[in-house]
Amino acid sequence: MARTIMLIPVGAGVGVTSVSLGMVRAMERNGVSVNFFKPIAQPKGRNEGPERSTAIIRNATDIIPPEPFSQSHAESLIGSNREDDLLEAIVERFNNGTTGSEIVVVEGLVPTSESPYANSLNYGIAKALDADMVFVTNPANDTSQQLKERMEIACNNFGGLKNKRIIGCIINKVGAPIDESEITRPDLTEMFDSKNANYANLEVLQMFGKSPLRILGCIPWNAPLIAPRARDLATHLNATIINEGDMNTRLGRVTFCARSIPNMIEHFGAGSLLVTSGDRSDVIVSACLAAMNGVKVGALLLTGGYQPEETVLKLCERAFETGLPVMLIKTNTWQTSLAMQSFNTEIPADDTYRINLVQDYVAGHIDKHWIESLTSTSARPRRLSPPAFRYKLTEMARTANRRIVLPEGEEPRTIAAAAVCAERGIARPVLLGDPEQIHRIAKQQGVVLGDNVEILDPLQTRDKFVAPMVELRKNKGLTEVVAREQLEDNVVLGTMMLACDSVDGLVSGAINTTANTIRPALQLIKTAPGYNLVSSIFFMLLPDQVLVYGDCAINPDPTADQLADIAIQSADSATAFGIEPRVAMISYSTGSSGKGSDVDKVREATKLAQERRPDLVIDGPLQYDAAIMENVAKSKAPNSPVAGKATVFVFPDLNTGNTTYKAVQRSADLISIGPMLQGMNKPVNDLSRGALVDDIVYTIALTAIQSAQRIE
């Protein structure tokens, strides 16, 4: 039976939805089968759409939560003195909708003037579902003593401090900007005078010493988590779109352009929403010039209903092509400022990027030991879920603390990824490139390169690696002149840095081909002892587990002997990253049913791999469906130790492997991490040229972990 944790908000504005999201992510990170249930929908204002928390969970995760009851239905039953019927229906829906889950996170009603029955009903639901209760609160303007007293009063509404169902509290929005009415006021615009903003007193952290309840989480305010998309603001203001551009651009601040251009230039930064009257052609053209020079201006909002002149729009066409959103509204600047103060900063249900940011951030501030204790006695075998795998990667990389060189140091995605890695402690990135150019590109993107991002100018670095390279390749007749020429390529330079142990790993490929990344490594780094070839794997993040695919990037048509090596390398890589290896050697035939040279090769490779590593669970040949589906395995390979539960899939050739991984990734809309190269003496990893910033971050993490494991 599932253990149920009910989050009970102590007042409005505590951010219970964000805490729910973080709780779900924290459970997923721990490999727990988790579900979510909001028993009663609680629409805000005139919102008549689907219940927000449930919609967010459904859109951003693989969880399918039960549908909540409508608030009107609940109020009807409560008003008819039929609360018991309501609770019975809630239990029925809970049981039917959460079967198979180990943990269910239940989100309680927010007590408001429109729902005075919230506390009573929350307590009734907690008892009906046999749920442990966790209070969610925020400090507002309270001192630690006032917050302590507030929590004691809250406990009194739920049976008092002696109630064993009450297991703790989570304090959210610590340090949030609060106005005189104790309403959270994010400093998005210059309208909010920071001198008058009353930021929550961090003295509340003394609660850790005096809280009547165990504090299970303390979540600091983080302004970037509320950054809306341009499309969200356009919807709120009912704006007319003059140039759509990238409407998913994040808006970090708002500037009202009422001054002369020289006095506003400093505000034309990445993520800035520039608000100006539609007849201010000087501002429009200046903003467009900034965009054409690489500054990622968030959006341009034109007020007063003034449509820019056609000649101005014509002049700005190239700037519009950079993705700059331009919107027009009828209200004047003052009316616009008032409308923006009422902007709802809650997460839209379709903003999966922001939802994931919030989930990861909140999960990182919830007591890890408490999360682990919830299922410490569970007998269910753990499957490494995608969130658990990504979390494991970052934690292992932080522990490794490795120096990773990025030869494509002037590439914008690489610069952004380096900043993320440094900020999160995933690695110590080294960018190769012109420092002035790197800083310029970073500024244009709004990326802050902290002290932990190292920038090396190749012009000042190459000379020290000429002699070592000549020595390393002297048997191949390499001369100093040719070595200098080859070191002009930053990938070669980065590889020499790795060969000389100046760095711990290398990641390239955002703008270079796979061959350009791997060839220098094969020449200068070579294969690891005991390995005869280099191969690759992808980590395929399925909804409920992570699979390993190999080789999908390097060897076009491996022999049986090479295929056996690929299987062993892939199994060892799976083990290194917390995945129990059950290796399926994939073919078009299962067992002894098929004939032909292709299936014979797989059969021979299976035999060789089993002989070389009897400690591994390897079987083949297996068709893909027999390897992954238990019902197919029972009929096609009933005695196989791998069929139906394979975690490592070894494909017979590059054509099959690459096609399969891309088909699965694109058709099922999955995340894949890789390729990760294996068999190299030191870690070198290749990127897809279409890699996103997150792809580069996780590849850097993989590389750091490989380096640490090589040394161990």
DSSP string spanning 90-120? HHHHHHHHSTT-SEEEEEPPPPBTTBTTHHH
Residue 135 and residue 29 share a domain: yes
Residue 84 and residue 218 share a domain: yes
Per-residue pLDDT for 375 more than 80?
A: no
- Report pLDDT for 192: 33
DSSP H helices in 4-117: 16-29, 52-60, 71-79, 83-97
- Tokens 């890589």 correspond to 573
Phi and psi at 75, nearest 5°, equal -65, -35
Percent of the chain with pLDDT over 70: 92
Per-residue pLDDT for 178 more than 80?
A: no
- Report pLDDT for 520: 93
C-alpha 674/C-alpha 474 separation (Å) is: 34
Helix (H, G, I), strand (E, B) or coil at 288: helix
The CA-based angle 315-321-326, given to 5 degrees, is 75
Residue 482 and residue 548 share a domain: no
Residue 14 and residue 30 share a domain: yes
According to DSSP, residue 413 is labeled H
Q: Is residue 706 part of a domain?
A: no
C-alpha 466/C-alpha 481 separation (Å) is: 9
Residue range 65-97, pLDDT digits in tens: 999 999 999 999 999 888 888 988 898 898 888
Residue 186 binned pLDDT confidence (cut-offs 50, 70, 90):
low
- Report pLDDT for 195: 37
- Report pLDDT for 187: 47
Percent of the chain with pLDDT over 90: 44
Among positive and negative, which fits the CA dihedral 364, 42, 345, 218?
negative
Q: Is residue 271 part of a domain?
A: yes
C-alpha 560/C-alpha 556 separation (Å) is: 13
C-alpha 567/C-alpha 650 separation (Å) is: 6
C-alpha 305/C-alpha 310 separation (Å) is: 15
Q: What is the mean pLDDT of the chain?
A: 86
Q: What is the mean pLDDT of residues 172-182?
A: 71
Contact 620, 606 (CB under 8 A): yes
Residue range 269-286, pLDDT digits in tens: 888 899 999 889 999 999
Number of domains the chain contains:
4
Residue 513 and residue 498 share a domain: yes
Contact 363, 25 (CB under 8 A): yes
Contact 176, 199 (CB under 8 A): yes
CB atoms < 10 A from the CB of 712, how many? 7
Threshold 0.85, pTM exceeds: no
Q: Is residue 587 part of a domain?
A: yes
Q: What is the mean pLDDT of residues 352-368?
A: 90
Residue 193 binned pLDDT confidence (cut-offs 50, 70, 90):
very low
- Report pLDDT for 651: 95
Q: Is residue 599 part of a domain?
A: yes
- Report pLDDT for 605: 94
Q: What is the mean pLDDT of residues 27-47?
A: 82
Question: Which CA distances in Å does 699 have to 227, 390, 491, 674, 686?
Answer: 27, 11, 16, 7, 8
CB atoms < 10 A from the CB of 642, how many? 22
> 539 pairs with which residues across the strands?
548, 673
Q: Is residue 685 part of a domain?
A: no
Residue 626 binned pLDDT confidence (cut-offs 50, 70, 90):
very high
Residue 583 and residue 609 share a domain: yes
Instruction: Count how many Cα atoms sit within 13 Å of the Cα of residue 56 in the half-sphere of its side chain.
Output: 27
Residue 140 and residue 215 share a domain: yes
C-alpha 693/C-alpha 414 separation (Å) is: 7
Contact 9, 106 (CB under 8 A): no
Phi and psi at 595, nearest 5°, equal -135, 155
- Report pLDDT for 612: 93
* Helix, strand, coil percent content, the chain, rounded in steps of 5: 45, 20, 40
Domain carrying residue 251 = 230-341
Residue 184 binned pLDDT confidence (cut-offs 50, 70, 90):
low
C-alpha 422/C-alpha 13 separation (Å) is: 33
Of the candidates 351, 395, 356, the residue with the CA atom closest to the CA atom of residue 30? 395
**For residue 490, what is the domain's CATH number?**
3.40.50.10950
Of the candidates 98, 38, 95, 29, the residue with the CA atom closest to the CA atom of residue 63? 98
> 451 pairs with which residues across the strands?
none
**For residue 67, what is the domain's CATH number?**
3.40.50.300
Q: Is residue 700 part of a domain?
A: no
Residue 190 binned pLDDT confidence (cut-offs 50, 70, 90):
very low
C-alpha 537/C-alpha 583 separation (Å) is: 13
Tell which of 524, 543, 569 closes a domain. 524
C-alpha 531/C-alpha 551 separation (Å) is: 15
**For residue 251, what is the domain's CATH number?**
3.40.1390.20
> 467 pairs with which residues across the strands?
none
Residue 572 and residue 608 share a domain: yes
Contact 194, 50 (CB under 8 A): no
Contact 684, 707 (CB under 8 A): no
Residue range 376-396, pLDDT digits in tens: 654 444 556 677 687 788 889
Q: What is the mean pLDDT of residues 118-128?
A: 90
Residue range 209-265, pLDDT digits in tens: 667 788 899 998 888 888 899 999 999 999 999 999 999 998 888 888 888 888 888
Residue 599 and residue 652 share a domain: yes
Residue 477 and residue 542 share a domain: no
Tell which of 374, 397, 424 closes a domain. 374
Residue range 400-435, pLDDT digits in tens: 999 999 999 999 999 999 999 998 899 999 999 999
Start-to-end CA distance of the chain, whole Å, equals: 41
- Report pLDDT for 152: 86
Residue 364 and residue 392 share a domain: no
Q: Is residue 699 part of a domain?
A: no
Residue 34 and residue 101 share a domain: yes
Most confident of 46-60, 191-205, 498-512: 498-512
Rg over alpha carbons for the chain, rounded to the nearest Å, is 29
Q: Is residue 382 part of a domain?
A: no
